Amino acid sequence: MKPQAPHCQSCQFKDSSLFKQCHLHELEELNESKCFNSYKKGQVIFHEGNRPLGIFCVYSGKVKVSRMGSDGKEQIIRLAKKGDTLGYRSLIDNTKYTASAIALDETEVCFIPAAEFNKLVDENVKVSTDLMKMLARALGDTQDKLIHLAMKPVRERLAEALLLLKSTYQEEGKNPFSISISREDLSSIVGTAKETVIRFLSEFKEDGIITTHGSEITILNPEKLVKISSMYD
C-alpha cells in the first residue's frame, strides 16, 4: 500500500510551497478540495492543448514540462521537483496548456481545482504576491534559457544542463550527484540531437568530469562543468 498524501497542514512543503503564507483555515480548505494522485514514469500529468482545470503541486518525484514539435522532436522547458507548483501559467493566462507535464520517475502530485486556487489568490494577498514573484522568477529563468540557447554552443549548454539537474535534484548530503536520465531527455533539455549529447558526454568522461553506468550519470567534477558552461560569460 502506497503512503497517501498527508493533510496539507502537516505537509512537508507547507512552509516552502506557494501556500506557505496560508492561514490554518485556508490550509484546511485546501486540504478538503485537493486531490492526490500517483503517476508512473512516462505518464502524463497534463497535456499540451488541454484546458487547465487547476494547478498541481509535486509531492514527490521528478517532472519534465515540455513541448512536442510536429517532427516529433521534444523541447523541455522546465524540470520540476517535489515542492514545485505546475500548470499555474496557463490558468492565470486563461489559455490552453502550451506544454505537457510528464513524470520522469514515480511521482506523486496534488491537484488543486481552479476555483479553490483562484479563491485563495483572491483572498490572501500574500499568496498572490508570492505567485507574482514565482511568475517573475520563472520569466527570468526562461529568458536565461533563451539567451543561452541563442549564444552558447552545445558543449556549454550540456555542461549547464548537467549542473541544472544537479542543483534541482541533488538530495542533501548525497555526494557525488547521480541521476538516471535518458540521452533523449538530456538532448531535449539542451536543445540538440541525442547523438550530439552522447558525443560530448563521452568527452566529459574522458576528461574525468563524469562517469556513466547505462543511463545513470554521475557528476565527479561540477567545478569543471561550471567552467565549461560559462566559458564565454
Partner DNA sequence: TTCAAAAACTGATAAAACTCATATTTTCCG
Partner DNA sequence: CGGAAAATATGAGTTTTATCAGTTTTTGAA
Contact residues toward its own copies (CB under 8 A) are: 67, 69-71, 73, 75, 77, 89-90, 92-93, 95, 98-99, 122, 125, 128-129, 131-133, 135-140, 142-147, 149-151, 191, 232-233
By CB under 7 A, tell whether 171 contacts DNA: no
Instruction: Report the alpha-carbon distance of residue 7 to residue 14 in Å, rounded.
Output: 10
Q: Which does 155 bind (CB under 5 to 8 A by kind): its own copies, DNA, none?
A: DNA
- In the structure grid, which three cell numbers stand for residue 146, read together? 533563451
Q: Which does 34 bind (CB under 5 to 8 A by kind): its own copies, DNA, none?
A: none
Ranges within 103-162 binding DNA (CB under 7 A): 153-155
Closer residue to DNA (CB): 75 or 118 = 75
Phi–psi pair at 54, nearest 5 degrees: 170, -170
Q: Which does 149 bind (CB under 5 to 8 A by kind): its own copies, DNA, none?
A: its own copies
Shortest spacing between CB 85 and its own copies, in angstroms: 13
By CB under 7 A, tell whether 233 contacts DNA: no
Spatial neighbors of 138 by CB under 8 A, at least 6 apart, are 78, 89
Query: How many residues form the binding site for DNA (CB under 7 A)?
Result: 22
Instruction: Report the alpha-carbon distance of residue 116 to residue 230 in Å, rounded.
Output: 43
Give me the 197-216 binding string for DNA, x by CB under 7 A, dash otherwise.
-xx-xx---------xxxxx
Query: How many Cβ atoms from other residues are within 10 Å of residue 172's Cβ?
Result: 5
What's 153's DSSP letter? Answer: -
Handedness of CA 153, 162, 17, 76 (dihedral sign): positive
Q: Which does 139 bind (CB under 5 to 8 A by kind): its own copies, DNA, none?
A: its own copies
Query: What amino acid occupies position 53?
Result: L
Residue position matching grid coordinates 510528464? 102
Pairing of strands 35-39, 74-81: unpaired
Closer residue to its own copies (CB): 122 or 216 = 122
